[in-house]
């Protein structure tokens, strides 16, 4: 054997979309181990999914080359194709669609995240306004709530765990649905004496470490918050100085809140009034070093938009913006004194067309950054507002992520072209016409991104090993398509090095600057804005608008009266879903190591309810809704609200080529019939799903 | 290595020990029976198929290598049986009769042989001279490859010795005709009454477009006795001429009292034919003793039963007679001296021991040679000292590039199965010649398939006795040409098939013995040397009382012959499908899995001198972890919930 | 017990199983075997809130390892200088006596090689001055590598006592 060659590559993980900085040990051209990047994290710690990146890379049960369907859509019959053949196939059909129906009939669905510049540039260059991503099943209501209040996105602020003294989490299972750094920071904060209160409809590993924990009635988090606000205002526990300086509409809030006493909230939520009062007191005592988790990748109910607003309002009341231990504004390269990182999307002329999903005209208060993926089937099936004929699906899997996949599929079937670009098999890929395999995150270099934050920096994902199969990086795939479609001029590069050079050209930085640590820090220390005059809210009033001009202008009330969350009808349970530390929903279920740890999901059900049906832990039960039935093993526990059942999301994969995950466990979203709708926050009301449970003998 | 092997090697085995081909079968057969079959038939596989009652498949396996299962099932001298490993346990398998059973089941009770489709279609014509087993086999394989084949036969009916030599009481003609028909059905043309080499030369056939030739003209010319009086009496006849005449209907006894000189199958066939033709006194005159006779053992026994007397150590010296008729055969007594080049002890005449044997006819059966000199058309072929055709070994090519030869014409008098082997080799060599491919090399036979063994317990397997082959009534034997050996019936055959040791699976490498004895120090599994280079598992008789069920032997077994199965509370150790041990399993008190044998636990307890209570609770390794974890924090283990949260 | 041990801070552990996956990745352990495992004990209500403990179960590298005594070939060995117990795979015949002997469920069966393998505290890493993969990769730094220089014999004994609660001997 020849001498072993070793190297270390700093990059960004992609096992989930937290995108942790990683250090890849490479030996003889193969991944040896993946750790956390110690230059960024201060240690090599990395969550189990990140650690399982190596077996993902080596797994043969992932996409291995371009595929064109040879049978009906979704039949699972494929033929292998060359890249030229597959790209020509896509380009020809796209051209035809554009010629016949116009460029807006092409839509691009994106997984979303940080590396979106090229996808956005591509669809814009085609002349279509229709970029959207998965946030409709995810954080749309949080985004839009923050947007309505402060004029900016959810992720323009971040949590200062390091200095936090008190945290309130609502169903945010921060210790199971984990991001490496956040989980570590959270544990550090606990060790530093942070107190923390947890509300959920069930117990979980996060609850196990809480100082106060309440299993609350599903959908009543808002009521708890109203009780807290009531206490803060009525007892004048809020930061009057901050409110006076930065808040518009406090009086309206005070007026609105008066009926919603802690006692009222107790009736709604089941959380004792004295507990609510105590929590408000505890918060006020250490304000503004309080974090209330605004929800992370959470789409819940019809009105959780107002619940998310209430969280940010509590921050405002506690003076929690740009506050140690609370929320800190994220600063970007410009805030750090650099010229902006250049984007390809900015090379493309603006598209002035109506969007397919209603954002900007029907839903003026919702953000076009995310769009409404749930509108795809409606638009396709009804040609409303115009024909949608081609769907470019970049690493997005609405058939796994969104409710009612049958309905979604109905829409997809009517398309003239559905092309999926992904590293993995997905349910949406499976019903596509063409699958173009993207090189894995270990096999490709992506563009530079700004990691905005109190201390901004530039990050890069870098290729560590050669592609194991016939897969290509995204920049190459999009460039190839662009050339074929006559929009190549917007992709003026021939290599990824060209891309990086283009991006960095105004910043005085170059690719080599990333070599030693994987990132380039843009500020020596945290940049802090003046709490008195330096806060940059982007609302018309430049303040936090409790009475939101954006909502009011669109006829949406800022303070609608509280409505109780829907009760499941007799004999039904509310289906709730969640995540585990070892899986990124469905995408990692076939990973050999992660599958081994958690191959199946189970159904949590309250002991008293289970007893009524004679269900014991380990029994197989049928779960059904609107004519859809699935089976799953029961886990009977005292620690879940009796009106709800709970399961891990993403199981029950239906792709035969993923042999380890195929038909293991229950596919929750199939039960969510009729929930492909647009709630006020732009989210699908995913937890408004009521199911029947029956013991199978 | 091929994937999805029926018998995957143990994970701890040397993966290079056995070479597998792409098709998942071993590159070389490991079964001594197959290795010693002149036609290279995959014997263990067809026996296994017979054991499962799948006769069609068994015949298909045989006909991969031999188009005459039925003929061979009746008259093959079965060299395979001499190598049968079962003989070291008790007695060899009735391999010949199992083959005969399969053929009979397919031909008489089934739908007949499956006629293979040609693999290709080639335009070249090939001429086969002689329609004995060698020629017809060559024709069969050539037609299968896709050539147009014409067989030229000098006699009125094709079949060679199978029709005109071996007596009907051994080989009913109907069986031969049906197997020949199966070859005709492949498109092979057979032209009878057409000798080649005399009036029609090979060159003429070349002119007619034949591109290659196979000579399977047999060895029909009887060797002369070389004694006084041999040429003086018409009652001195050669055995093959005699048998041919009888075969073609000239059923006339040579005399009331007949002496047959020689000790081979032809001699005995002639003698037994004489008995059936009504001769009162039939004697074999043989220079050596009965035990040196080259004829089959069964034939010698059956001959004795039929009243044929063997004059051992007797050398004919003179034929005496009067009026053109034989009166006596004068003989000398002999003693056996040093071995000759054939390895047999050389007989030496004892002077002055002459005596006269009163006989009316003498049949010479001391050997034959090809009648090659009678055919000037073949004159340019190289011959051996014994006047057989000289060929290159393994590809049967003569000194004339487009002429190949096989069968008795090459080997001298030999067996049907050897002729079949030669015909087959020649066919593939002719294919290579015509297609301009590399000539076939010497390759040991390969398994044709791998059939799951019949699972049964060791004691059952070891106590099945070799089946007796029933014969027809002796009186009927002596007065008719009815078939003597009745072969196996279905029940007996399937029972017999269970006796097979499946040497195609276990290669008897002894790695299991090594690991158990030398590494583990248990010595539970034992093989014994049997024969020169063969080992056999003797434990079939009494199981493995010392076995602790650890599985090291299975783990190291490079052939996958040893396998472990945990079922119904027992760990079952299998050797080529035979259960050689059953050991009780322990049940995990945590999860209910049966995870280790009870004796293994006791064995380990002793080794580590652990306090008794250490193994009081029976837990599998996963549950041990769970149990310890709970105990570390002072809790009672809960094994159930661990896996469903 | 060996000279080293892995201390697990229950307050920090979140039961995420990163230790298991880092271990498997580092040691290329096939599916079905695991050198270490998190065993959740709970939930059990304490002061009104259900609590859970995640017990980290690597090999504890016993002072007098039964797996070594049970091994017929000398494949299972205890390194004299630091007490790390590991398998010499060239000597292992796959009899699994060690698996039967170990009360902790530590030795594992490698179905791909037909040999036993087990936690060796990543001794190749230790010998290079690094820490075991489980410790290095632990998401929340709940696992801590305690080397002889950092630990008094008293501390180690205390740890051993805690570990061996309910065990016959170790």
Q: Is residue B638 part of a domain?
A: no
Q: Check whether B635 has a pLDDT greater than 70.
A: yes
Q: How far apart are CA A462 and CA A443, in angstroms?
A: 8
In tens, the pLDDT along A326-348 reads 999 999 999 999 999 999 999 99
Share of chain B above pLDDT 90, in %: 78
Interface test with A, best of C10, C15, C17 (most A CBs within 10 A): C17
pLDDT over 90 (residue A544): yes
Could you say which of B366, B392, B409 is where a domain stops? Answer: B366
Looking at residue B107, what DSSP letter applies?
A: I
Contact A618 B645 (CB under 8 A): no
Quick check: C96 and B611 CB within 8 A? no
State pLDDT tens for residues A440-465.
999 999 999 999 999 999 999 999 99
Q: How far apart are CA A352 and CA A347, in angstroms?
A: 15
Mind listing the pLDDT tens digit for each residue in B390-446?
A: 998 778 999 999 999 999 999 999 999 999 999 999 999 999 999 999 998 888 899
Q: How confident is the model at residue B510 (pLDDT cuts 50, 70, 90)?
A: confident
pLDDT computed for residue C168 by the predictor: 42
Same-domain pairing of B283 and B409: no
Query: Which chain B residues contact residue A596 at CB under 8 A?
Result: none
* Gap from C150 CA to chain A (nearest CA, Å): 19
3-state SS string over A457-500?
EEEECCCCCCCCCCCECHHHHHHHHHHHCCCHHHCCCCCHHHHH
B194 with B144, same domain? yes
Between A6-10, A137-141, A202-206, B552-556, the lowest mean confidence (pLDDT) is in A137-141
Q: Strand pairing of A212-215 and A620-625? A: unpaired
How many whole angstroms separate alpha carbon A559 and alpha carbon A556?
9
CB atoms within 10 A of CB B336: 15
A638-652, B63-77, B344-358, range with the lowest pLDDT: B344-358
Q: Does A618 touch chain B (CB under 8 A)?
A: yes
- Find the angle CA(A124)-CA(A128)-CA(A132) to the nearest 5 degrees: 80
Instruction: Please provide the average confidence, as pLDDT, over all residues in chain A.
Output: 95
- CB of A216 closer than 8 Å to CB of A200: yes
Judge residue C11's burial from the number of C-beta atoms within 10 Å of its C-beta, 0-12 exposed, 13-18 middle, 19 or more buried: exposed
Closest partner residue to A48 among C21, C31, C136, by Cβ? C21
Give the DSSP letter string of A488-555.
GGGS--SSHHHHHHHHHTTTT--GGGGTTTSEEES-SS-----TTTT----STTSSEESS-HHHHHTT
Q: Does residue C167 lie in a domain region?
A: no
What is the model's pLDDT at position B529?
Answer: 72
Secondary structure of residue B305 in the 3-state scheme = helix
Tell me the C-alpha distance between C56 and B364, whole Å.
92
Yes or no, beta carbons of C93 and B520 under 8 Å apart: yes
Pairing outcome for strands A573-578 and A644-648: parallel
Residues B353 and B239 grouped into a single domain: yes
Query: What band does C165 get if pLDDT is binned at 50, 70 and 90?
Result: low
d(CA B229, CA B428): 48
Query: Kind of pairing, strands A327-329 and A157-159?
Result: antiparallel
Q: How many CB pairs under 8 A join A and C?
A: 113
- Cα of B621 to nearest chain C Cα, Å: 4
Structure tokens at B88: 């070291």
d(Cα B137, Cα B140) in Å, to the nearest integer? Answer: 5
Contacts of A635 in chain B (CB under 8 A): 641, 644-645
Q: Which chain C residues are closer than 8 Å to B629 by Cβ?
A: 39, 41, 55, 57
pLDDT tens readout for residues C25-58? 999 999 999 999 999 999 999 999 999 999 999 9
* Residue of chain A minimizing CA distance to C45: A208
Does A183 sit within 8 Å of C16, measured CB to CB? Answer: yes
- Closest CA of chain B from A213, distance in Å: 20
Average pLDDT for residues A211-218, to the nearest whole number?
96
- pLDDT the model gives residue A3: 74
Testing the interface with C: which of A208, A579, A591 to mutate, by most C Cβ within 10 A? A208
The whole-angstrom distance between B438's CA and the closest CA on chain C is 40
CA distances to A319, B162, B240, B412, B601 from B300, rounded to whole Å, are 115, 20, 19, 22, 59
DSSP string of B34-49?
Answer: HHT-TT---HHHHHHH
CATH number where B284 lies: 3.50.50.60
In this structure, are B173 and B129 located in the same domain?
yes
Q: At what angle do helices A221-234 and A250-257 cross, to 10 degrees?
A: 110
Residue C159 has pLDDT above 80, yes or no: no
Residue where the block lists tokens 């921050």: A315
Q: State how far residue C115 is from chain B, nearest Cα, in angstroms.
A: 6
Measured CA to CA, the distance from residue B168 to residue B160 in angstroms comes to: 13
* Domain-located, residue B635: no
Neighbours of chain A (3+ CB pairs under 8 A): B, C
How far is CA C142 from its chain centroid?
Answer: 15
Query: Helix, strand, coil proportions of chain C in percent (round to 5)?
Result: 25, 25, 50
Q: Is the peptide bond before A311 cis (omega within 30 degrees of 0)?
A: no
Lowest mean pLDDT among A126-130, A555-559, A659-663, B196-200: B196-200
Among residues B106, B109, B90, B175, the alpha carbon closest in space to that of B467 is found at B90
Query: For residue C168, which residues of chain B lie inside 8 Å, CB to CB?
Result: 610-611, 613-614
With CB atoms and an 8 Å threshold, state whether C40 touches B519: no
Domain count, chain B: 4
| Among A586, A577, A580, A606, residue whose Cα is nearest residue A686 | A577
- What residue ranges define each of the domains in chain A, with the CATH number in brackets? 6-58 (2.20.25.90), 67-138+337-521 (3.40.50.740), 161-325+534-553 (3.40.228.10), 573-695 (2.40.40.20)
For residue A421, what are the β-bridge partners? A394, A436
C31: contact with A, CB 8 A cutoff: yes
Residue C168 has its nearest CB partner, among B596, B614, B630, at B614
Q: Are A643 and A568 in contact (CB under 8 A)?
A: yes
Tokens encoding A427? 């349910």
State pLDDT tens for residues A27-74: 999 999 999 999 999 999 999 999 999 999 999 999 999 999 999 999
B213 and B130 in a common domain: yes
Radius of gyration of chain C, Cα coordinates, nearest whole angstrom: 16
Q: Flag if B641 and A633 touch (Cβ within 8 Å).
A: no
**Residue B559 within a domain:** yes
Size of interface A-B (CB pairs under 8 A): 11
The CA-based diameter of chain A, rounded to the nearest angstrom, is 78
CATH code, domain carrying C100: 3.30.70.20
Residue B88's CATH number: 1.10.1060.10
B464 close to B494: Cβ distance less than 8 angstroms: no
Give the model's pLDDT for residue B2: 44
In this prediction, residue C16 carries a pLDDT of 97
Confidence of residue A307 (pLDDT cuts 50, 70, 90): very high
Residue B15 domain-assigned (yes or no) = no
Distance CA A137, CA A677 (A): 10
Residues 6+ apart with CB under 8 A from A255: none
Q: What is the mean pLDDT of residues B226-245?
A: 94
Name the least confident of A46-50, B15-19, B617-621, C37-41. B15-19
Provide the shortest C-alpha distance from residue B608 to chain C (in Å).
Answer: 5
In this structure, are residues A118 and A344 in contact, taking their beta carbons and an 8 Å threshold? yes
Angstrom CA distances, B310 to A251, B107, B214, B223, B317, stand at 132, 38, 39, 21, 17
DSSP notation for A239-251:
-HHHHHHHEE-HH
Distance from CA of C102 to the nearest CA of B (A): 8
CA-nearest of C94, A104, A502 to B516 is: C94
Q: What is the DSSP letter of B464?
A: P
Nearest CA-CA partner of B540 in B86, B47, B46? B86
Choose from C41, C71, C74, C168 for mutation: most chain B CBs within 10 A: C41
Decide if pLDDT at B644 tops 60. Answer: no
Q: Which residues contact C30 (CB under 8 A, 6 or more apart)?
A: C110, C111, C112
Task: Answer yes or no: is pLDDT of A177 > 60.
Answer: yes
Better-predicted residue by pLDDT, B333 or B614? B333
The pLDDT of B82-100, averaged and rounded, is 92
pLDDT at C166 over 60: no
Domain containing C54: what range?
A: 5-161
| Residue ranges in A367-473 assigned as alpha helix (H) | 376-382, 398-401, 405-413, 427-430
Residue identified by tokens 């398309």 is A415
For residue B121, the 8-state DSSP code is -
B518 shares a domain with B460 = no
The two three-digit tokens of residue A6, written as one number: 């070793």
Using only C-alpha atoms, chain B has a radius of gyration, in whole angstroms, of: 31
CA–CA gap between residue A455 and residue B383 (Å, rounded): 99
C170 part of a folded domain: no
Q: Can you say how many angstroms the Cα of residue A175 is from the centroid of all Cα atoms in its chain?
A: 17
CA dihedral C143, C149, C154, C156 (to 10 degrees): 40
Q: Which of C70, C106, C114 sits opposite B12 (nearest CB)?
A: C114
CA distance B112 to chain C (A): 47
- Distance between CA atoms of residues A477 and A488, nearest Å: 12
The b-or-e profile of A153-163 (16+ CB within 10 A means b, else e) is: bbebbebbbeb
Q: What is the mean predicted confidence (pLDDT) over B56-61?
A: 97
C79 assigned to some structural domain: yes
Q: In this structure, are strands A247-248 and A106-110 parallel, antiparallel, or unpaired?
A: unpaired
Q: Kindly identify which residue of chain C lies nearest to residue B12, measuring between CA atoms.
A: C114
Structure tokens at B234: 């018409």
Q: Which residue has the tokens 């917007």?
A: A490
Q: Is residue B473 part of a domain?
A: yes
Mean pLDDT value across residues A220-249: 97
Q: Are residues B277 and B344 in the same domain?
A: yes
Q: How many domains does chain C have?
A: 1
Residue A65 to residues A80, A94, A486, B46, B603, Cα–Cα distance (Å): 7, 21, 25, 44, 54
| CA separation for the pair A74, A63 (Å, rounded) | 16
Determine which of C10, C43, C105, C163 to mutate to test the interface with B (most B C-beta atoms within 10 Å). C105
For A360-410, how does the pLDDT look when each residue is reduced to its tens digit (9 = 90+)? 999 998 988 899 999 999 999 999 999 999 999 999 999 999 999 999 999
Angstroms from A405 CA to nearest CA on chain C: 30
- Chain C residue closest in CA terms to B558: C114
Whether B361 contacts B235, CB under 8 Å:
yes
Domain membership of residue B334 (yes or no) is: yes
Tell me: pLDDT of A501 over 60: yes
Q: Tell me the average pLDDT across A626-641.
A: 96
Q: Is the pLDDT score of C1 beyond 70? A: no
Residue A579 has pLDDT above 80, yes or no: yes
Rounded mean pLDDT of B347-373?
A: 92
Residue C169 lies in a domain: no
Same-domain check for residues B480 and B384: no
What does the pLDDT read at residue A541? 95
CA–CA distance, A678 with C143 (Å, rounded to integer)? 45
Q: Which structural domain, as residue segments, surrounds residue B79?
A: 32-114+453-497
Measure the CA–CA gap between A397 and A654, rounded to whole angstroms: 13
Radius of gyration of chain A (CA): 25
Tell me whether residue B251 is in a domain.
yes
The structure tokens listed for A317 are 């009341």
| Domain-embedded: residue B481 | yes
Residues of A in contact with B640 (CB under 8 A): 617-618
Banded pLDDT at B384 (limits 50, 70, 90)? very high
First to last CA, chain A: 59
Verify that B409 and B487 share a domain, yes or no.
Answer: no
- B390 with B413, same domain: the answer is yes
Domain identity same for B143 and B82: no
- A208·C52 Cβ contact <8 A: yes
B355 and B399 co-located in one domain: no
Three-state SS annotation for B50-80: HHCCCHHHHHHHHCCCCCCHHHHHHHCCCHH
d(CA A49, CA C158): 34
Question: Is C101 within a domain?
Answer: yes
């Amino acid at each position: 054997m020849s001498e072993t060659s070793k190297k270390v590559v700093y990059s960004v993980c992609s096992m989930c979309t937290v995108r942790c900085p990683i250090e890849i040990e490479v030996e003889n051209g193969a991944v040896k181990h993946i750790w956390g990047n110690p230059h960024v994290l201060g240690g090599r710690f990395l969550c189990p999914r990140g650690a399982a990146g190596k077996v993902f890379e080596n797994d043969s049960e992932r996409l291995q080359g371009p595929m064109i369907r040879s049978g009906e859509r979704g039949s699972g019959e494929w033929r292998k194709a060359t890249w030229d053949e597959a790209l020509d196939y896509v380009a020809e059909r796209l051209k035809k669609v554009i010629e016949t129906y116009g460029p807006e009939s092409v839509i691009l669905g994106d997984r979303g995240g940080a590396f979106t510049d090229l996808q956005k540039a591509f669809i814009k260059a085609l002349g279509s306004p229709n970029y959207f991503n998965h946030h409709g099943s995810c954080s749309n209501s949080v985004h839009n709530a923050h947007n309505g209040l402060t004029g900016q996105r959810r992720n323009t602020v971040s949590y200062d765990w390091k200095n936090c003294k008190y945290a309130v989490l609502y169903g945010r299972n921060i210790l199971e649905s984990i991001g490496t750094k956040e989980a570590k920071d959270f544990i550090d904060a606990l060790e530093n004496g942070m107190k923390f209160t947890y509300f959920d409809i069930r117990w979980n590993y996060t609850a196990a470490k809480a100082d106060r924990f309440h299993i609350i009635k599903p959908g009543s988090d808002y009521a708890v918050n109203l009780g807290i606000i009531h206490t803060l205002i009525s007892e004048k526990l809020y930061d009057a100085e901050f409110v006076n300086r930065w808040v518009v509409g406090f009086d309206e809030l005070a007026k609105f809140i008066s009926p919603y006493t802690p006692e009222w909230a107790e009736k709604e939520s089941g959380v004792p009034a004295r507990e609510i009062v105590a929590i408000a007191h505890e918060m006020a005592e250490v304000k503004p070093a309080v974090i209330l988790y605004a929800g992370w990748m959470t789409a819940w109910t019809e009105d959780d938009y107002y619940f998310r607003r209430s969280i940010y309002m509590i921050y405002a009341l506690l003076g929690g913006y740009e506050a140690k231990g609370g929320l800190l504004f994220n600063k970007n390269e410009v805030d750090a004194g650099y010229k902006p990182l250049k984007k390809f999307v900015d090379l493309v002329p603006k598209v002035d067309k109506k969007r397919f999903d209603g954002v900007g005209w029907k839903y003026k208060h919702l953000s076009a950054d995310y769009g409404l993926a749930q509108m795809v089937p409606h638009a396709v099936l009804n040609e409303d507002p115009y024909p949608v004929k081609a769907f470019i699906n970049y690493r997005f899997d609405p058939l796994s992520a969104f409710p009612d996949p049958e309905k979604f599929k109905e829409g997809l079937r009517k398309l003239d072209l559905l092309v999926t670009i992904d590293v993995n098999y997905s349910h949406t890929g499976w019903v596509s016409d063409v699958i173009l395999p993207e090189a894995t995150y270990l096999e490709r270099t992506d563009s530079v991104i700004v990691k905005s934050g109190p201390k901004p920096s530039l990050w890069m994902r870098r290729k560590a090993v050669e592609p194991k199969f016939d897969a290509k990086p995204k920049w190459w795939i999009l460039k190839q398509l662009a050339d074929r479609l006559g929009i190549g001029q917007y992709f003026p590069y021939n290599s990824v090095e060209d891309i990086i050079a283009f991006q960095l050209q105004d910043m005085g930085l170059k690719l080599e600057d990333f070599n030693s640590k994987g990132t380039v820090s843009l500020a020596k220390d945290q940049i802090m804005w003046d709490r008195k005059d330096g806060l940059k809210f982007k609302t018309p009033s430049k303040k936090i608008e409790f009475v939101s001009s954006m909502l009011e202008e669109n006829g949406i009330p800022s303070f609608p009266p509280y409505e109780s969350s829907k009760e499941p009808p007799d004999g039904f349970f509310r289906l709730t879903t969640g995540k585990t530390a070892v899986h990124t929903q469905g995408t990692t279920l076939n990973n050999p190591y992660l599958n081994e740890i958690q191959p199946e999901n189970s159904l949590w059900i309250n002991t008293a309810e289970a007893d009524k049906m004679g269900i014991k832990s380990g029994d197989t039960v049928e779960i059904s809704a609107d004519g859809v039935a699935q089976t799953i093993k029961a886990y009977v526990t005292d620690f879940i609200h009796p009106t709800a059942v709970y399961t891990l999301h993403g199981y029950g994969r239906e792709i035969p080529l993923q042999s380890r995950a195929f038909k293991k466990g229950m596919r929750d979203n199939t039960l969510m019939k009729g929930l492909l709708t647009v709630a006020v926050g732009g989210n699908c009301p995913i937890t408004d799903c009521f199911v029947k449970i029956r013991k199978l003998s | 290595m091929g994937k999805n092997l029926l018998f995957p090697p143990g994970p701890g085995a040397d993966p290079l020990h056995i070479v597998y081909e792409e098709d998942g079968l071993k590159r070389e057969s490991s079964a001594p029976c197959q290795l010693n079959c002149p036609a290279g038939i995959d014997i263990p596989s067809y026996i296994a198929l017979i054991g499962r009652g799948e006769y069609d498949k068994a015949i298909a396996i045989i006909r991969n290598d031999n188009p005459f299962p039925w003929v061979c099932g009746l008259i093959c001298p079965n060299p395979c049986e001499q190598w049968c490993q079962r003989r070291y346990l008790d007695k060899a398998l009735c391999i010949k009769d199992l083959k005969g059973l399969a053929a009979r089941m397919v031909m008489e009770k089934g739908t007949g042989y499956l006629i293979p489709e040609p693999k290709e279609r080639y335009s070249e014509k090939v001429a086969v001279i002689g329609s004995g087993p060698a020629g017809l086999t060559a024709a069969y394989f050539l037609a299968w490859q896709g050539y147009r084949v014409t067989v030229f036969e000098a006699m009125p009916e094709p079949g060679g010795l199978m029709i005109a030599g071996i007596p009907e009481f051994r080989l009913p003609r109907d069986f031969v005709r049906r197997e020949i028909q199966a070859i005709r059905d492949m498109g092979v043309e057979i032209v009878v009454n057409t000798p080649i080499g005399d009036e029609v030369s090979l060159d003429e056939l070349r002119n007619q477009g034949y591109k290659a030739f196979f000579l399977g003209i047999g060895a029909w010319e009887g060797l002369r006795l070389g004694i006084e009086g041999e040429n003086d009496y018409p009652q001195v006849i050669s055995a093959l001429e005699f048998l041919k005449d009888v075969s073609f209907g000239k059923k006339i006894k040579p005399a009331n009292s007949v002496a047959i000189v020689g000790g081979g199958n032809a001699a005995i066939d002639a003698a037994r034919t004489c008995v059936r033709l009504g001769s009162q006194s039939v004697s074999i005159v043989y220079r050596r003793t009965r035990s040196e006779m080259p004829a089959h053992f069964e034939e010698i026994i059956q001959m004795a039963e039929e009243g044929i007397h063997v004059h051992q150590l007797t050398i004919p010296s003179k034929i005496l007679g009067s009026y053109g008729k034989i009166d006596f055969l004068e003989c000398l007594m002999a003693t056996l001296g040093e071995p000759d080049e054939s390895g047999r002890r050389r007989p030496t005449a004892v002077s002055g021991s002459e005596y006269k044997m009163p006989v009316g006819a003498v049949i010479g059966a001391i050997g034959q040679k090809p009648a090659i000199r009678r055919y000037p058309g073949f004159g340019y072929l190289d011959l051996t000292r014994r006047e057989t055709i000289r060929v290159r070994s393994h590809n049967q090519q003569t000194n004339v590039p487009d002429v190949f030869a096989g069968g008795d014409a090459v080997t001298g008098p030999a067996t049907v199965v050897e002729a079949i082997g030669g015909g087959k080799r020649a066919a593939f060599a002719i294919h290579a010649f015509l297609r301009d491919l590399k000539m076939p090399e010497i390759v040991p036979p390969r398994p044709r398939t791998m059939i799951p063994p019949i699972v049964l317990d060791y004691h059952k397997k070891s106590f099945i006795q070799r089946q007796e082959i029933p014969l027809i009534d002796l009186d009927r034997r002596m007065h008719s040409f009815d078939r003597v050996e009745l072969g196996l019936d279905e029940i007996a055959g399937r029972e017999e098939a269970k006796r097979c040791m499946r040497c195609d699976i276990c290669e008897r490498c002894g790695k299991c013995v090594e690991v158990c004895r030398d590494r583990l120090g248990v010595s539970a599994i034992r093989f014994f040397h049997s024969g020169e280079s063969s080992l056999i598992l003797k434990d079939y008789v009494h199981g493995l009382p010392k076995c602790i069920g650890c599985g090291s032997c299975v783990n190291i077994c490079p052939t996958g012959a040893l396998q472990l199965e945990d079922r119904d509370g027992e760990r079952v150790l299998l050797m080529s499908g035979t259960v050689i041990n059953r050991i009780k399993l322990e049940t995990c008190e945590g999860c209910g899995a049966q995870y280790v044998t009870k004796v293994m636990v006791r064995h380990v307890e002793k080794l580590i001198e652990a306090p008794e209570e250490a193994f009081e609770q029976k837990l599998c390794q996963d549950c041990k972890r769970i149990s310890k974890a709970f105990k570390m924090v002072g809790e009672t283990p809960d094994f159930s919930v661990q896996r469903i949260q | 017990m060996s000279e080293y041990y892995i201390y697990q801070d229950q307050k920090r552990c979140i039961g995420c199983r990163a230790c298991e996956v880092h271990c498997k990745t580092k040691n290329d352990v096939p599916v079905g075997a695991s050198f270490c495992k998190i065993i959740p004990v709970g939930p059990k209500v304490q002061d009104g809130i259900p609590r859970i403990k995640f017990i980290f179960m690597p090999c504890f590298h016993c002072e007098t390892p039964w797996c070594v005594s049970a091994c017929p070939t000398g494949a299972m060995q205890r390194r004299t200088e630091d007490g790390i117990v590991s398998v010499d795979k060239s000597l292992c015949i796959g009899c699994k006596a060690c698996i039967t002997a170990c009360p902790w469920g530590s030795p594992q069966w490698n179905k791909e090689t037909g040999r036993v393998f087990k936690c060796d505290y990543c001794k190749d890493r230790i010998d290079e001055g690094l820490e075991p993969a489980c410790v290095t990769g632990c998401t929340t730094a709940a696992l801590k590598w305690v080397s002889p220089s950092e630990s008094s014999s008293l501390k180690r004994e205390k740890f051993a006592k805690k570990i061996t609660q309910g065990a016959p001997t170790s």
